[in-house]
């Protein structure tokens, strides 16, 4: 991957993308139907899919596997995990990995970090999606930051078609449990998982403790780690981004690492990048 370190060109005025505003508003509004469609089984579906799409799809798949290559799995399993990530409705794998790699290359730079916390809480949390910059949202521009994924026809296809995967998911949920499952399994799940993920961009660059003196304001925040299955140990991650574990201390809860560990002990995950001994000894 080649990162452009040339001086930043003058920035064009940001324009509000009404398509994004309307899309996110509709999904949030549909999630508000939850009280009228409540059932305990629907709540169970919500919790299961939040974990499956969030921890396995986004945290383990899009983040630690595809963005950082913290470990390797057989290609069939990598593709399966990537599809689970695409079902989270957070963009295609090339878009997600490219944006995250830029975040690490230019952390908190107000122009080159897609969700720079220096622009304020709401920008890093969600406004970056409503005022899209072409270098982060135009495929012809962002694809150069994930060339390994671009070379793969499957990832190019998934990047183009991830949104359509919601149709078979919605049909399956309706067949299994009617509109209750659809409301909780799609709309409530999407909203909760969006904000859980966005917390990493916003709150963990503002509040929490710092184990490592990194060149940014990344923080470790316990409650963010709970909502994001371990991603809230963000200072650890920024200090050693290629390490497969986010929680290093025994009490730093990292559910996503547990899944990676299972893959490792069963022989499905190899070349798992662990924290360096020197860094561990300083904990």
Is the distance from CB of 264 to CB of 71 less than 8 angstroms?
yes
Per-residue pLDDT tens over the stretch 63-118 = 999 999 999 999 999 999 999 999 999 999 999 999 999 999 999 999 999 999 99
Name the one residue in this structure whose structure tokens are 């001994």.
277
Question: Is residue 7 pLDDT above 70, yes or no?
Answer: no
Indicate the domain borders of the chain.
33-281
Structure tokens at 138: 């135009």
What is the reported pLDDT for 280? 62
Q: Which two tokens stand for residue 273?
A: 């990048």
Q: 209: which strand partners?
A: 220
Mean pLDDT for the stretch of residues 183-212? 97
Note the pLDDT of residue 13: 78
pLDDT tier at 277, thresholds 50, 70, 90: confident
Provide φ and ψ at 270, rounded to 5°: -135, 170
CB 169 within 8 A of CB 87: yes
* Confidence check: pLDDT of 3 > 90: no
Q: What share of the chain is helix, strand, coil (3-state, %, to 5)?
A: 65, 0, 35
Judge contact between 234 and 219, C-beta under 8 A: yes
In angstroms, what is the C-alpha Rg of the chain?
Answer: 19
How high is the pLDDT of residue 270? 96
pLDDT at position 11 over 50 = yes
Query: What are the pLDDT digits (tens) for 158-169?
Result: 999 999 999 999
Q: What is the rounded average pLDDT of the residues 117-140?
A: 95
What average pLDDT score do residues 161-181 get? Answer: 97
- How far is 144 from 41, CA to CA, in rounded Å? 43
Mean pLDDT over residues 231-253, rounded?
96
| Cβ–Cβ under 8 Å, residues 134 and 82 | no
């Amino acid at each position: 991957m080649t990162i452009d370190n040339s001086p930043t060109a003058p920035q064009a005025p940001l324009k509000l993308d009404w398509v994004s505003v309307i899309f996110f508003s509709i999904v949030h509004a549909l999630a508000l139907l939850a009280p009228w469609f409540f059932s305990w089984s629907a709540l169970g579906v919500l919790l299961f899919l939040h974990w499956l799409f969030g921890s396995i799809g986004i945290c383990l798949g899009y983040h630690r596997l595809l963005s950082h290559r913290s470990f390797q799995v057989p290609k069939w399993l990598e593709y399966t995990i990537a599809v689970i990530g695409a079902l989270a409705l957070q963009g295609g794998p090339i878009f997600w990995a490219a944006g995250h790699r830029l975040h690490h290359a230019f952390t908190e730079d107000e122009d080159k970090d897609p969700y720079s916390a220096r622009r304020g809480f709401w920008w890093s949390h969600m406004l970056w999606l409503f005022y899209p910059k072409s270098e982060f949202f135009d495929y012809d521009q962002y694809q150069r930051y994930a060339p390994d994924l671009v070379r793969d026809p499957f990832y190019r296809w998934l990047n183009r078609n991830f949104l359509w995967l919601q149709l078979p998911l919605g049909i399956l949920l309706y067949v299994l449990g009617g509109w209750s499952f659809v409301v909780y399994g799609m709309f409530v799940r999407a909203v909760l998982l969006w904000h859980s993920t966005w917390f990493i961009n916003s709150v963990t660059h503002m509040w929490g403790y710092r184990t490592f003196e990194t060149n940014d304001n990344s923080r470790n925040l316990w409650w963010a780690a709970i909502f994001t299955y371990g991603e809230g140990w963000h200072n650890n991650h920024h200090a050693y981004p290629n390490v497969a574990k986010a929680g290093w201390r025994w009490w730093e809860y990292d559910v996503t690492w547990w899944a990676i560990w299972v893959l490792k002990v069963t022989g499905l995950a190899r070349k798992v990048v662990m924290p360096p001994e020197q860094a561990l000894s300083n904990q």
